[in-house]
Amino acid sequence: MYDVIIIGGGPAGASAAVYTARGKLSTLVLDKSPNAGALALTHKIANYPGVSEELTGAQLLDRIRDQARSFGAEFKHTTITAVDLEGETKYVFTADGMYEARAVIIATGSKGRNRMLPGEERLLGKGVSTCATCDGAFYAGKEVAVIGDSEESVDEVLALSRIVSKIHFIVPRPELQGIKTLPELPHTEVRFRTRPLEIVGEDRVQGLRVKSSSGEEQVVDADGVFVFLSGSKPGTDFLEGQVPLDADGYMILDELMQTAVPGVFGAGEVRRTPVKQAVIAAADGAIAAMAADKYIHRREHAIPQYK
Please name which of 1, 179, 2, 173 lies closest in space to residue 73, comparing C-alpha atoms.
2
Residues 113-128 as b/e (b if ≥16 CB within 10 A, e otherwise) read eeebbebbeebbbbbb
Question: Residue 138 burial (CB < 10 Å; 0-12/13-18/19+)?
Answer: middle
The values of phi and psi at residue 277, to 5°, are -140, 150
Mean pLDDT estimate for the chain: 90
- pLDDT of residue 200 exceeding 90, the answer is yes
91 in Cβ contact with 170 (< 8 Å): no
168 in Cβ contact with 191 (< 8 Å): yes
- Report pLDDT for 69: 98
- Report pLDDT for 193: 95
Overall average pLDDT of the 70-77 stretch = 97
293 in Cβ contact with 23 (< 8 Å): yes
Overall average pLDDT of the 150-176 stretch = 90
What are the Cα distances from residue 167, in Å, to 98, 105, 140, 223, 224? 50, 40, 12, 10, 10
- pLDDT of residue 58 exceeding 80, the answer is yes
- Report pLDDT for 113: 64
- Report pLDDT for 248: 83
Of all residues in the chain, the percent with pLDDT exceeding 90 is 65
Distance of CA 23 to the CA centre of its chain: 26
Provide the pLDDT confidence category of residue 24 given band limits of 50, 70 and 90: very high
CA distance linking residue 242 with residue 82, whole number of Å: 10
- Cite the residue boundaries of each domain of the chain with CATH code 3.50.50.60: 2-112+232-296, 128-228
Provide the pLDDT confidence category of residue 224 given band limits of 50, 70 and 90: very high
- 105-158 residue pLDDT tens: 999 988 666 578 999 989 988 999 877 877 888 999 999 999 998 777 888 899
CA distance linking residue 303 with residue 293, whole number of Å: 8
Question: Residue 54 burial (CB < 10 Å; 0-12/13-18/19+)?
Answer: exposed
- Report pLDDT for 62: 95
Of all residues in the chain, the percent with pLDDT exceeding 70 is 95
- pLDDT of residue 303 exceeding 80, the answer is no
Overall average pLDDT of the 7-20 stretch = 97
- pLDDT of residue 30 exceeding 90, the answer is yes
Is 2-112+232-296 a CATH 2.40.50.140 domain? no
Is 128-228 a CATH 3.50.50.60 domain? yes
- Report pLDDT for 65: 97
- 206-219 residue pLDDT tens: 999 999 999 999 99
For residues 134 and 73, which has the higher predicted lDDT (pLDDT)? 73
- pLDDT of residue 230 exceeding 70, the answer is no
Q: Which residues participate in catalysis according to the annotation?
A: 131, 134-135
